[in-house]
Structure 1
Amino acid sequence: MSKVVLITGGSSGIGKSIGEFLYHKGYIVYGTSRNPELVLNSVFPLVALDVRNVESIQEAVSKIIATTGKLDIVINNAGVGITGALEEIPTEEIKNNFETNFFGPIEVMKAVLPQMRNQKSGLIINITSIAAYMGLPYRSVYSASKGALELITEALRMEVKSFGIKITNVAPGDFATNIASGRFHAPLVKGSAYEIPYGNTLKMMDEHVVSGSNPNEMATAIYKIINAKEPKIHYKVGIFMQKFSIVLKRVLPDKVYEKMLMNHYKL
């Protein structure tokens, strides 16, 4: 019987690419969207789910299990970007980001773990970011929320391993998606101490997304992970220099690495 896959945030970008790839490979794919009725071009069914709303998570998961009788793979893909000088990002927006990027995936995992434990099998893939491995200027909140998800995944893997459940992180670099249009940008404030460096960094970030890799690369990577006998704890998907930046973070002295980042962002 084909494996059942749930992908949060499956209506666009990386989530949509993963869903379409797995659907054409014969998997039973369910994506999620806050407003699935507005998505007209999905090749796989979309169910209503808002990762910030526990009831909607539980309803969506229950609906899929009631329809298929099982849930084999869950891909926590839903996420949002956020940029700005930390001093100028409203605290409410920081909390909103963590609700989507951190607490949302936690609630999804809580909702699916009982079914996977009953099955004595299951795979959860948390989509994080290469930005999770370092504190990036003007992306502090995004780095923090994705980094927190990386760490909680490490811990949860050990807690559920005896139940036959596998969990892994996949950290993408820059991909050509609509994340830039959906992220919260702290406004550029005329006369602010951060006006020029933040403006320059914001322009650079948007250029990186526009020239980013094809999301199908993520889909291929996810497919390989699903078929791995023992998935690793961490995967990185992106161009060489993005992945190599994590290696440099491990081996370089902190201040040398900091200087390297500041040179990159022209700070």
Structure 2
Amino acid sequence: MSKVVLITGGSSGIGKSVGEFLLQKGFIVYGTSRNPQNNPNHPFQLIALDVTNVETIQKAIDKVISNEGRIDVLVNNAGMGITGPIEETPTQEMRNVFETNFFGAIEVMKAVLPQMRQQKRGLIINVTSIAGYMGLPFRGIYSATKGALEIVTEAIRMEVKGFGIHITNVAPGDFATNIASGRYHTPVFENSPYKKTYQENLDLMNAHVDSGSDPLEMAKAIYKITQTSKPKVHYKVGNFMQKFSIVLKKILPDTIYEKLLMNHYKL
């Protein structure tokens, strides 16, 4: 029997690649978008859903259950980026990103868990980020949202395991997607003490995304997780140095690791 998968943020980038790949593997795929009408020729069905609006979350999940009778896999992929010196980034913009990346992901999990508990099975895959394993300069708030979701996943997976539900994290590195276009960018202010270093780091971030890996790698990794009966707590998908940076953080003294990051970001 084909598995039913719901992918938040399925209109582009990693979400779209995952949906297309799972479709090829025989899954029944539903994606979500705030404005599905903007993607009329999408390869799989898109449902309206805004992760910051609980009513739209429930409507989308109810629609999938009404159509298919179940939801086997949730890929919690919807998210947004934010850049800027923390001192100069509006606090409300920080809250907005937490609402999407952290609380939004939690709300979707809360909405799908009753159905999975009734089924006595289900898999939730939270898409986080390798950036969530460390505080990155000018991306500290983004790192914080993804790191927070990693920790919450560790907790909730223990809470629901007795119901036959598995929850895991997948942390991607830099992938060639359109995430940069959807970020909130704190402006580079002319009189800012961060003007030079922030602009250099913005250029570096955009270059990393432009030269990032093929999102198909994430699609293959997520498919592989759906095929295992005992998913791990954490998965990392990225190039060697991105994954190795997490290992280095574990084994190096904090100040030495900080120096490595500062050298990398030319600070």
TM-score if structure 2 supplies the norm length?
A: 0.99
2:182 counterpart residue number: 182
Displacement of 1:214 = 0.3
CA distance in 1, matches of 2:217, 2:228: 17
1:170-205 per-residue CA deviation (whole Å, 9 max, x = no partner) reads 000000000011101000000201000000001000
2:245 counterpart residue number: 245
Query: Is 1:39 equivalent to 2:39 in the alignment?
Result: yes
- Listed as ranges, the matches of 1:58-73 within 5 Å are 58-73=58-73
2:112 counterpart residue number: 112
CA distance in 2, matches of 1:212, 1:26: 28
CA distance in 2, matches of 1:53, 1:84: 26
1:74-132 per-residue CA deviation (whole Å, 9 max, x = no partner) reads 00000000000001110110000001000000000000000000000000000000000
Q: How many residues align?
A: 267
Displacement of 1:43 = 1.2
CA distance in 2, matches of 1:228, 1:48: 30
Displacement of 1:159 = 0.2
2:84 counterpart residue number: 84
Give secondary structure in 1 for the equivalent of 2:161. Answer: helix
Give secondary structure in 2 for the equivalent of 1:71. Answer: coil
CA distance in 1, matches of 2:238, 2:124: 21
Residue identity in the other structure for 1:89: T
Residue identity in the other structure for 2:116: M
Give secondary structure in 1 for the equivalent of 2:171. Answer: strand
1:22 counterpart residue number: 22
Which 4+ runs in 1 deviate beyond 6 A?
Answer: none
Query: Is 1:205 equivalent to 2:205 in the alignment?
Result: yes
Residue identity in the other structure for 1:59: K
Displacement of 1:237 = 0.1
1:228 counterpart residue number: 228
Residue identity in the other structure for 1:266: K
CA distance in 2, matches of 1:47, 1:223: 21
CA distance in 1, matches of 2:16, 2:7: 9
CA distance in 1, matches of 2:42, 2:58: 22
1:157 counterpart residue number: 157
Greater CA drift, 22-31 or 37-46:
37-46
Residue identity in the other structure for 1:64: V
Give secondary structure in 1 for the equivalent of 2:162. Answer: helix
CA distance in 1, matches of 2:244, 2:117: 37
Displacement of 1:24 = 1.0
CA distance in 2, matches of 1:96, 1:251: 34
Give secondary structure in 2 for the equivalent of 1:241. Answer: helix
1:27-75 per-residue CA deviation (whole Å, 9 max, x = no partner) reads 0000000000110231110000000000000000011101100000000
CA distance in 1, matches of 2:235, 2:41: 30
Give secondary structure in 2 for the equivalent of 1:118. Answer: helix
CA distance in 1, matches of 2:70, 2:176: 33
Task: Output the aligned Cα RMSD.
Answer: 0.5
Query: Is 1:262 equivalent to 2:262 in the alignment?
Result: yes
CA distance in 1, matches of 2:224, 2:3: 14
CA distance in 1, matches of 2:41, 2:128: 26
The share of aligned pairs that are identical, in percent, is 70
TM-score if structure 1 supplies the norm length?
A: 0.99
